[in-house]
Amino acid sequence: MNKLIIYTLYICLLAGLIACSQQESSTATTAAEATSPAIAQASAPAPEVTAAAAPTLQPALPVTENSDHEALLASADPILAANKRLCYDMWRTLVDGRDVAAARQYLDENYIQHNPIADTGFAGLEAYFSNLGPPQAIPDRIQRPLVAILAERDLVAMAWVDVRERPNAPGETYTTTIFNMYRIKDGKIVEHWDHGTLPEGMTPHNYVPPAINSDYEITLASNDPQLASNKRLVYDMWRTLFDGQQVEAAPKYLAKDYIQHNPMANTGLDGFLAFFRQFARPGPVPPTMANFIDLVAEGDKVVMATATRYLDSNGNPYTTTWFDMWVVKDGLLAEHWDTGSFVLPQRAPAD
């Protein structure tokens, strides 16, 4: 069976089990959250206490800002530093300032858009931002709270703190992480991925659905042996724990004090194991990931983009991008952020 189908069947199984526990299939924890090392503490039944007491599970830690933007923009490689600055300045100009004309200097005319809310091409981007209102003063700094900026090869990944209201709890908030990833060519941004999902009542625009990347070995390679090792660790972890569902292998990849920032998950290796043991159906570990798009690694961090599918208002599937980010320490994954949220669109079933 095709590996993507196997993967989708697995995550749909998880989504169904979670939906049953919450009695809300449309807003239950979805497969995308399940496939990331993070799931709602509220979604999972409390561990049964036996004679050998189960470990005390701890909630996820809030996502916090790194306010030192100059440090985030720095790189020993001048090309990577320039790519980071390009994306940073584009964001200040286009997103914060809504100045589409001024942003043209940063974006290619044939800009490829993978967010289903906007048409592809610069014209589609122009139409989207023009509808948000007139241009504003362009700030010196990005206004959203940044977590990280990573650059490798021709890619830049940016992560932000996102504060949301907890469902059915007015005034109570939680944090999650928003990601954007860009591809740079000849000093212009030519391609964009994010976790764009369709609001109720909207159908996909003329965007380019993100495609599975079969050239994973090129992506995993690096002239820096440490970066290559970090990327391989992430890739192999995903194949083993999620595609192969070999949950008991988690200590090989995750540090015992693994820090979790997905708001629906428990922090720590014990939290990971407690949840995924409920659903795991171990099978062979596939040689390649089923839904891989790309990886960006810098320093001790790795950002991974994967394809995920939801249903639009008409019940038709559309594809968007899911993101995870890890810190690697001493050969293990020590900290994790992802796009997890308490409310996401309904996951599309397997083909």
pLDDT digits (tens, 9 = 90+) for 140-181: 999 999 999 999 999 999 999 999 999 888 899 999 999 999
Tell me the one-letter amino acid at 334. A
**pLDDT band at residue 54 using 50, 70 and 90 as cut-offs:** low
Which residue, chain included where needed, has tokens 């007491």? Answer: 53
**Between residues 23 and 63, which one has the greater pLDDT?**
63
Tell me the one-letter amino acid at 28. A
Residues in contact with 288: Cβ distance below 8 Å, sequence separation at least 6, in sequence order: 3, 214, 216, 239
pLDDT digits (tens, 9 = 90+) for 85-126: 999 999 999 999 999 999 999 999 999 999 999 999 999 888
Assess contact for 309 and 167: CB atoms under 8 A.
Answer: no
pLDDT for the residue numbered 351: 64
Question: What are the phi and psi torsion angles at 109 (to 5°)?
Answer: -60, -30
pLDDT for the residue numbered 2: 36
* Average pLDDT across the chain, whole number: 86
CATH 3.10.180.10 fits 3-63+216-338, yes or no: no
pLDDT digits (tens, 9 = 90+) for 183-214: 999 999 999 999 999 998 899 999 999 999 98
Residues in contact with 150: Cβ distance below 8 Å, sequence separation at least 6, in sequence order: 156, 157, 296, 297, 298, 299, 301, 303
Q: What are the C-alpha distances in Å from 261 to residues 4, 242, 245, 306? A: 27, 19, 22, 18
Residues pairing with 301 in the sheet:
298, 327
Element (H, E) at 251: none
**pLDDT band at residue 19 using 50, 70 and 90 as cut-offs:** very low
Q: Where in the chain is the domain with CATH 3.10.450.50?
A: 3-63+216-338, 69-194
pTM: 0.85
Q: What's the whole-number mean pLDDT along residues 223-250? A: 97
CATH 3.10.450.50 fits 69-194, yes or no: yes
pLDDT for the residue numbered 312: 94
3-state secondary structure of 299: coil
Residues in contact with 120: Cβ distance below 8 Å, sequence separation at least 6, in sequence order: 111, 112, 113, 206, 207, 208
CA atoms within 13 A on the CB side of 154: 11
Closest residue by Cα to residue 124 from 137, 114, 134: 114
Cα 48 to Cα 46: distance, rounded to the nearest angstrom = 6
